Homo-oligomer: A and B are copies of this chain.
Amino acid sequence: MVRVAVVGASGYGAGEAISWLLGHPQAEIAALTSRVEAPVPLSALRPQFRGVELPLVKPLDPDELARVADVAMLALPHGASGEWAGKLLDRGLKVIDFSADFRIRSAELYEKTYGRKHPAPKLLKEAVYGLPEFHRDEVAGARLVANPGCYPTGALLGLIPLAKRRLIQPGSVVIDAKSGVSGAGRKPSAPEGYHFCEVAESIKAYNVSKHRHMPEIESELAAAFGGAEGELSPVSFTPQLVPVQRGILTVIYASVADGVKPGQLRDAFVQDYDGEAFACLLEEGQFPSTGEVVGTNRCDVGLAYDKRVGRVTVITAIDNLAKGMASQAVQNMNLMFGIPETEGLVSPGRNP
**Chain A interfacial positions (CB closer than 8 Å to B):** 12, 15, 18-19, 22-23, 46-53, 171, 174, 176, 178, 180-182, 186-188, 191-192, 194-206, 208-209, 234-236, 238, 240, 242-247, 249, 251, 253, 277-278, 280, 287-296, 298, 300, 302, 304, 306, 308-311, 313, 315, 317, 321, 346-352
Contacts and interface: CB of A to CB of B under 8 A. Distances in A.
Sort A-B residue pairs by CB-CB distance and give the 7 closest, nearest first.
A202-B291, A48-B349, A204-B289, A245-B352, A197-B352, A176-B176, A203-B249
A205 B287 contact: yes
Identical copies of this chain, number: 4
Contact of A200 (B176, B196, B304, B350): B196
A296 B48 contact: yes
Contacts of A348: 15, 18-19, 22, 46, 48-49, 52
Contacts of A171: 309-310
Given A289-B203, A304-B208, A352-B182, A197 B12 contact: yes
Contacts of A191: 191-192, 195
A181 B352 contact: yes
A312 B56 CA distance: 34
A291 B200 CA distance: 8
Contact of A208 (B187, B200, B315): B315
A236 B313 contact: yes
Most buried by B among A48, A199, A208, A352: A352
Contact of A174 (B22, B205, B253, B317): B253
A311 to B, nearest CB: 5
Given A246-B201, A315-B205, A347 B181 contact: no
A306 B46 CA distance: 29
Given A200-B352, A247-B202, A292 B50 contact: yes
A129 B99 CA distance: 50
A306 B52 CA distance: 32
Contact of A350 (B288, B295, B306): B295
Nearest to A235: B309
A350 B203 contact: no
A242 B203 contact: yes
26 contacts: A19-B350, A23-B347, A48-B349, A50-B280, A50-B292, A51-B298, A52-B347, A174-B311, A176-B238, A180-B203, A191-B192, A194-B197, A200-B200, A200-B245, A201-B291, A201-B351, A202-B244, A202-B351, A203-B291, A203-B317, A204-B289, A205-B288, A205-B302, A236-B253, A238-B251, A238-B315
